[in-house]
Amino acid sequence: MCQLLGMNANTPTDVMFSFTGFASRAQEHKDGFGIAFFEDAGVRLMVDAQSARTSPVAEMVRRFPIRSSNIVAHIRKATQGRVTLANTHPFVRELWGRYWVFAHNGDLKGYAPRLHGAFRPVGDTDSERAFCWLMQELAKAHASVPPIAELTATLRELAPTVAAHGSFNFLLDNGQALWAHCSTRLHHVVRRHPFTRASLHDDDVTVDFAAHTTPQDRVAVVVTEPLTKDETWTPFAPGELRVYVDGEPLDLR
């Protein structure tokens, strides 16, 4: 299966420590990678159908000074769809004059929703079909951008319909909030003052967050499998949907 990485923060934050550990997992997830990050209302999308360990685009990402409050990354192990650029996550669509970014980990069997209007897949993955359906149903449920609590309630109603077809771990981000849904495996950590040191599981890299942050900073990281050895990662429950704003989960249950 694929691997997901999402970050939501209350201030533009460097993601390269987490991305380094995440990209190290591309040896088993070699069918493409991508990263999308917001800059105000705009979004930069960098994807490649090659492995993140060998891709020249991944090397460019490592050298790019990424600082963002909302980031979604994905490394792919193909279950449905060809290994092509069109099938590489994250996917991006516009709704209500705002970009939406989506990445999926899982396998949806026999999933062929009725799609119409503006939301159609470009590639041939179950993931992009699910994204298009979510966007279509959000557009039907709300005439304009609703409050985050209302969006979260709608997504809680929609996600089980897709998850009934298989595993549906996903990240969805609109530059204001990060939504994360778990079918099988997701974990999160919130980094806040007092910041400490952390070491990657998959690479010999350690960072002292206290040297790069202020006491006001707050960062939430969501990932398929924990990235670090010395932080307390909280697992999601199957079927759980969480939403993060300004670097912390909102309690909207």
User: CATH for 3-249?
Assistant: 3.60.20.10
Q: pTM of the predicted model, to two decimals?
A: 0.92
Q: Is the peptide bond before 90 cis (omega within 30 degrees of 0)?
A: yes
2 noted as active-site residue: yes
Length of the chain: 253
Q: What is the pLDDT of residues 197-236, one digit of tens each?
A: 777 776 666 776 767 778 889 999 999 988 888 889 999 9
Q: What is the 3-state secondary structure (H, E, C) of 91-128?
A: EEEEECCEEEEEEEECCECCCCCCCCCCCCCCCCCHHH
Contact 124, 81 (CB under 8 A): yes
- The sign of the torsion formed by the CA atoms of 162, 173, 247, 34 equals positive
Backbone angles phi, psi at 37, to 5 degrees: -145, 140
Mean predicted lDDT score pLDDT of the chain = 88
Q: Which residues contact 213 (CB under 8 A, 6 or more apart)?
A: 191, 193, 195
Q: What is the pLDDT of residues 42-67, one digit of tens each?
A: 999 999 888 777 778 878 887 887 88
DSSP 14-48: E-HHHHHHHHGGGGT--S-EEEEEEETTEEEEEEE
Exactly one of 1, 2, 99, 247 is catalytic; which is it?
2
